[in-house]
Amino acid sequence: MSADALVRLMVETPHVIGVKQSAGDLHALAWLLANLPEGKVVLTAVDDLLYPSFLLGAHGAIAGICTAAPKLSVQLWDAVKAGDHEKAVECHLKLLRLWQFLHAPNFPARVKAALILQGVPAGRPRRPLQPLSDSEIDQLRAILKCV
């Protein structure tokens, strides 16, 4: 939905308390946040741009990167809220590196593999998705060591 439609939806539907903005467009997110009705919430799903999304005023995130790297995602949020932009950029760059691996075909299986490598028993991906290859696991393990 367009930013205009999301604002209209929140104004006309009192039970809608917020929206997930996942258009991948920071211009739309910025406009949405600037025109947000009072008391409403915007959660971003622009995985590779959480840092600027939080700077623009997003109230949080519903994003695959947060599932794959929850601690680092929270560190990014905390750094932005504290005004520690050096730390925020550091977190952003680490998340960006991980996102470059995750954002590919078989995305859900890639997120599950990241969880498993961090000790979270995420199980197998549902069919027709397949688990990652050994070489993909090795690549992901190397990325996670830097995250």
Q: pLDDT, tens digit, for every residue of 97-142?
A: 999 999 999 999 999 999 999 999 999 999 999 999 999 999 999 9
Three-state SS across 12-73?
HCCCCCEEEECCCCHHHHHHHHHCCCCCCEEEECCHHHHHHHHHHCCCEECCHHHHHCHHHH
Residue 147 above 90 pLDDT?
no
Q: What is the pLDDT of residue 115?
A: 96
pLDDT band at 53 (very low <50, low <70, confident <90, very high): very high
Q: What is the pLDDT of residue 43?
A: 96
Residue range 12-40: average pLDDT? Answer: 92
Residue 1 above 90 pLDDT?
no
Q: What is the pLDDT of residue 35?
A: 94
Rounded distance between C-alpha atoms, residue 42 and residue 91, angstroms? 22
Mean of all residue pLDDT scores within the chain: 95
